[in-house]
Amino acid sequence: MNRTSPRSSSQSGMTLVEALIALSIFAVVIVSVGAFQVGIYSNQRVVSGSLQTAQDAQIILRTMLTELRSAVPGANGAYPIISAGTSSISFFADANNDGQAEQIGYVLASTTLYRTVIPPSGAPPTYVIGNQSTSTILRNARNATSTPVFQYFDQNYTGTSSPLALPVNISTIRLIQINITLDVDPRLSPVPRTYTVQASLRNLKTNL
């Protein structure tokens, strides 16, 4: 006569518990792997975005340098530099090589860098705010309060001199330093990086 021993029933019950535990462990592993993959994708996205932003910044800084270096009097005879602040600057330059100087402005508002252009119009030529065009040229700029976007130096600048105190007397400006700190996502690596370039104003150049 065949009988089911107590030991066999106990083993059968343990197998079911073990199966449930195994399923739970498997579910935890799946969730962990999914979260890990999401983390990798997120980091790759941020790194890729950082590289693209850095490349864009280098192109934009070269354009800013070219325009600042070629600053000239306005078509209305105004001084080459209109205004100079820590997060904005306005000046005249022939940006499109049409023989007339446009009024160009750069301003960092929050984390976005904007470029404005006003062409001269009328006779005698004037610069009308209503004719202004504004474009977004850079995002994810995160300059700290201790890192101004624009710093200004006079003809005595030797490479280690302190920038001119604010408010700046624009007639003394001979060199402009641009500082842009970039960070696509402050919560993730890589760490913020600051790009610094200097533009000597050729048409106002003395000993620089």
- Find residue 8's DSSP bridge partners: none
Q: Give CA–CA dist 69/152, Å, rounded.
A: 13
Specify the pLDDT at position 5: 52
Given this model, what pLDDT does residue 75 score? Answer: 95
The answer on pLDDT for 72 being more than 50 is yes
Q: List pLDDT tens digits, range 140-168.
A: 898 988 899 999 999 999 888 899 999 99
User: What is the DSSP track for 51-82?
Assistant: HHHHHHHHHHHHHHHHHHHT----TTS--SEE
Q: What is the model's pTM? A: 0.73
Q: In this predicted model, what pLDDT tens digit does every residue of 2-57 receive, in sequence order?
A: 555 555 544 545 677 666 676 777 666 666 555 545 444 444 444 444 446 677 77
Taking alpha carbons only, the member of 100, 192, 208, 101 closest to residue 153 is 208
Strand order in the sheet with 81-84: 81-84, 88-93, 102-109, 112-118, 133-138
pLDDT (mean) for 82-98: 95
Residue carrying the six token digits 């202004």: 132
Give the count of beta carbons closer than 10 Å to the beta carbon of residue 183. 19
Q: What is the domain partition of the chain in residue ranges?
A: 43-204
- Using the predicted structure, report yes or no on whether residue 91 has a pLDDT greater than 90: yes
